[in-house]
Structure 1
Amino acid sequence: MADDNTASATRGPRETVVVGDREYVLLGTAHVSAESAREVRAEIDSGDYQRVAIELCAPRHQTLTGDDQLADLDLFRVLREGKAGMVAASLAIGAYQQRLADQLGIEPGAEMRAAITASQSHELPLDLIDREIGVTLKRVYRQIPWWQRLSMLGGLVGSLLSREKITAEDIEQLKDGDILESTFKEFAAQSSDLHAALIDERDRYMAASLLATDAPAGRTLVVVGAGHLKGLANHLRQGFDNPATVRGELSTVPRGARWLKWIPWAVVAVVLVGFAIGFWRSPALGGQLVLEWVIINGALSALGAAAALAHPLTVVTAFVAAPLTSLNPTVGAGMVTAAAELWLRKPRVGDFAMLRGNVKSVRGWFRNRVSRTLLIFLFSTLGSAAATYIAGFRIVGQLFG
C-alpha cells in the first residue's frame, strides 16, 4: 500500500491513497464554494477517473437532484414515530447551509451537484458513501449528556437566528471543517463525543463504504468536505477486516439508558400518590393539588402552542390535553396538539413544495404549515414536560414541606 499527498495554491487540499489495485484521489471541498464546484467538474472532465464517490447519503442526494421526499412527507407518521425532532433538526441544518450559500449567490452543495452531473455526462459509476444524516443526528443525541443536548439545540436555534454576514473568505475557511460541525461550532470543539459522531465516525463509515464497494481496479475521485480529508485517508490506509461490518455497526443507534425510561413513570407515580395523600388528609387539599396540576400543565403547554402560533382551538386543546397526557407517558401533549393543528389547518401542497425555502428564516418556520406543526409539537411538548416537574415539586412541597 502506498500513498501520496499533494496540494497547490490553485487546487483544493487533496490526498491520494492506493489500496491494492485501486487508487483513491480524495478531493477536499467547501460545501458552499463555487471554486470547489469548478474544481470538481474539471477533475471529472479530465478523463482520469473510472469512478466517482461523494459525501452524500441517499436522502441528501435526492434533495440535490430534485427528487425531494419532503413533498411526500407524512406528518402523522413522523409525529407518531417520534421523528419530529429529527426532521426539524435536518431542516434547520439545511437552512443554515442555504443561508451561507445565499450570501454568495450559489447553490448549497454545488460541488456535489457538479460531481453528480459530471459523472452522469461521462457515464461514470457514482457511489454515495456518507451515513444518513438522521442516523448521525440520532447517534449524536444518544452519545452526549443531556446538558450538551441542550447546547446542540441552542446551536441549531442560533444558526437560524444569526444574521452575521459571511464573506467569501470565511466560506473558503470551511475547507478546514465540516458543515455539520460548523452548525454547532459554539461547542463542538469542547465535546469529544459530539466531534466523534459528527466527524470521526463518518470518516470511518465513508472509508468502509469505499472499501466495501465491489468495484474493479481503477482510479476513483472521492469528493468530501475537507474536514474529512485526513481522517478518511488514514482509515483507508489502515483498512478494515470487514468493511461491511464496520458500516453496520456505525449505522445502529445506541439504546438510551433503561433507567431514564422509568423517570416519567416515577414522576406520575409520585403525583398520583400525592393526590391520594392530599384527599386522605383533606378533600380541600386534594382538590387544590389537582387544580394546580391542571392549571400548571394546561397553561404551560398552551403557552408553548401559542408561542408556535397555533390555531386558537389548538391552544385550547393543549390546555385540556396536557394535564391528562402528562399522567400517561406513552402519549405526549405534542402529539395531541399537532394532530389538532393538522385537522384545523391541513398543510397545502405549496407548503411542502416551499418548505426548504421557508425554513431559511425564523418567520418562514411560523408561516409554513408543515414547519409550524413541527414547532407546535415541540413547543407544547416542552411546555407540558416542564409543567409536569414543576407541578410535581409543588405537590411534594405542599405535602411534606
Structure 2
Amino acid sequence: MTNDIQLPDSVTHVKLDDRDIYLLGTAHVSKESVADVHETVDKLSPDTICVELCDARFKTLRNPENWKNMDIFQVIKEKKALLLLAQLVMTSFYKQIGEELGVKPGAEMMAGVDLSEEHKITLVLADRDIQITMKRVWGHLRFRDKLKIMMQLGSSVFVSEKIDEETINEMKEKGNIENVLDAFSKEFPTIKRVLIDERDIYLSQKVRNSTGKKVVAVVGAGHVPGISKQIHEETALEPYREIPKSSWTTTFAKWFIPVAIVGIFVYFFTYSDTSKFKSAIYIWVIVNGVLAALGAAIALGHPITIVAAFFAAPLTSLNPLIAAGWVSGLVQAWIKRPTVADLENLPQAISTAKGFWKNSVSRILLVVVFSNIGSAIGSLIAFPWIIATFF
C-alpha cells in the first residue's frame, strides 16, 4: 500500500501491472464500513469505484418502493416463490441488524455509488445478477440439500437473533471470515462454490476489466481473499452466467418415484387383489395430502387453501412439472388477493416473524414453500410404505 496515505485496515492493496486496485472489505450492515468507504475514496480520489451490486439490487436499493409493482400471481406461475422468499428472509435479516445498528442494509455500497456521482467517478456494478446466482445455486443442489435448505429457510423466519456491531466487526476480520467460509463449505460445498467462489471470479474480472489506473472496489470482506487471487488471471465470464440444465441423473431421480408409484398402482390393479390396490391409493393420497395440507396450515393458509393443498398434493406428486405449493399458493392468492397496502407494507412486515404471517404477500409465499415441503416429505414417506405392501 502507499507509504504516504494511511487507509483503513479493511483495505487490501493489489498491484495489477501499472494499476492500483484497492479492495475495501465491508460488512453489509455496518456504520464503520460506510465510514471506511468515505475515508478511502476521499484519500485516494480513484478513477473508478466498483461496488458489489448487480443492476437488480442497485435498483432495489435506489428505489425501495419497487415492492409495489410485484405481481404475486406471476411470481408463482414463473416458479419464483422460493427465490423471492429467500430474498425476503435475507432482507429481513439485514433489516433487523440495520435497525439495531442505525444503518440501512447496503448503505456501504450506496455510499460508493453516491460518492461516484458526487465526484464524477466512473461507477461499475461488479456483481453477477442475483437471479442468475440463485438459479445456479438451486440448479446445482442435490434433492436432499434442496429439501434441507427449504426446511431451514422456513424455520429461519421464526428466528430473531440480536447481533451487535462488535459481532459484525469481528466477522470482518480476515481470520474469522476464513473460518466461517470453511465451516460453510463443509456444510454446503455446492452453495459455497456458486455463491462465493464463482462470485469471487466474477467480481475479480469486473474489477480487472474496469477502467482507470486507480480503482476502489467495495466488496464483502469474505470476497477479498478470493478476488486478490483471481484478479491476476483473465477469465471468461460467460460460463458463470449460464443457468444449469438438469442432468440425466437429476431428471431420473425427479421422475423415478412418480413413475414407480404409477407402475405399482397399475400392477396392483391388474395382477393383485383389490385390497392392495386400495391400500396403496389410500397411503399415497392420505400421506401426501395430509402433510401438504399441514404445510399450508402452518403458513396460516385459508381453509380452502388447506383443502386445495390436500387434494393437489397426491396428483402433483405424480407430475414433477407441477408442485402442490403452486396450486395452493394460487388459491391463497385468489382468496386473499394482496392489496396495495400489503405490497407497500412488505418491507416493514418482514422485519418480524409475526409479520411474515400477517402480510398477505409473504403468507402466500409461505403457503407455496410449506405446501411443497409437506408434499415432498409425504412422497418420501409414502413411497417405501407402499413398496412394503409388496411383501
Q: TM-score, normalised by structure 1?
A: 0.86
User: Structure 1: 5+ residue runs without aligned partners?
Assistant: none
Correspondence list, 1:2-401, <5 A: 4=1, 11-46=8-43, 48-66=45-63, 69-150=66-147, 152-153=149-150, 156-157=153-154, 159-176=156-173, 187-188=184-185, 190-213=187-210, 215=211, 217-236=212-231, 238-240=232-234, 243=235, 246-280=236-270, 281-398=272-389, 400-401=390-391
Single out whichever of 340-349 and 146-155 deviates more from structure 2: 146-155
**Secondary structure at 1:166 match in 2:** coil
| Number of corresponding residues | 390
8 Å CA contact 2:147, 2:373 repeated in 1: no
1:41-69 Cα shifts (integer Å, max 9, x gaps): 23334472222111111121112112554
Once the 2 structures are TM-superposed, how far is the Cα of residue 152 of structure 1 from its aligned partner? Answer: 4.1
* Paired AA for residue 235 in structure 1: Q
8 Å CA contact 2:128, 2:199 repeated in 1: yes
1:331-352 Cα shifts (integer Å, max 9, x gaps): 2211111111111011111222
**Secondary structure at 2:237 match in 1:** helix
**Secondary structure at 1:269 match in 2:** helix
* Paired AA for residue 395 in structure 1: I
Once the 2 structures are TM-superposed, how far is the Cα of residue 201 of structure 1 from its aligned partner? Answer: 1.7
8 Å CA contact 2:97, 2:164 repeated in 1: no
Compared CA separation, residues 186 and 148, structure 1 to 2 (3 A):
farther
Once the 2 structures are TM-superposed, how far is the Cα of residue 75 of structure 1 from its aligned partner? Answer: 2.2
Aligned-partner Cα distance in 1 for 2:346–2:206: 31
Once the 2 structures are TM-superposed, how far is the Cα of residue 10 of structure 1 from its aligned partner? Answer: 7.5
8 Å CA contact 1:31, 1:109 repeated in 2: yes
Once the 2 structures are TM-superposed, how far is the Cα of residue 91 of structure 1 from its aligned partner? Answer: 1.4
User: Structure 2: 5+ residue runs without aligned partners?
Assistant: none
* Paired AA for residue 173 in structure 1: E
Aligned-partner Cα distance in 1 for 2:237–2:287: 47
Aligned-partner Cα distance in 1 for 2:64–2:370: 30
Quote the sequence identity (%): 33
* Paired AA for residue 96 in structure 2: R
Aligned-partner Cα distance in 2 for 1:166–1:52: 29
Once the 2 structures are TM-superposed, how far is the Cα of residue 205 of structure 1 from its aligned partner? Answer: 0.5
Query: CA RMSD for the aligned pairs?
Result: 3.0
1:111-169 Cα shifts (integer Å, max 9, x gaps): 11211222212222211101223322333334454444455446545654444332221
Compared CA separation, residues 183 and 382, structure 1 to 2 (3 A):
farther
Once the 2 structures are TM-superposed, how far is the Cα of residue 291 of structure 1 from its aligned partner? Answer: 3.0
Aligned-partner Cα distance in 2 for 1:251–1:50: 27
**Secondary structure at 1:130 match in 2:** coil
**Secondary structure at 2:384 match in 1:** helix
8 Å CA contact 2:151, 2:373 repeated in 1: no
Single out whichever of 12-21 and 142-151 deviates more from structure 2: 142-151
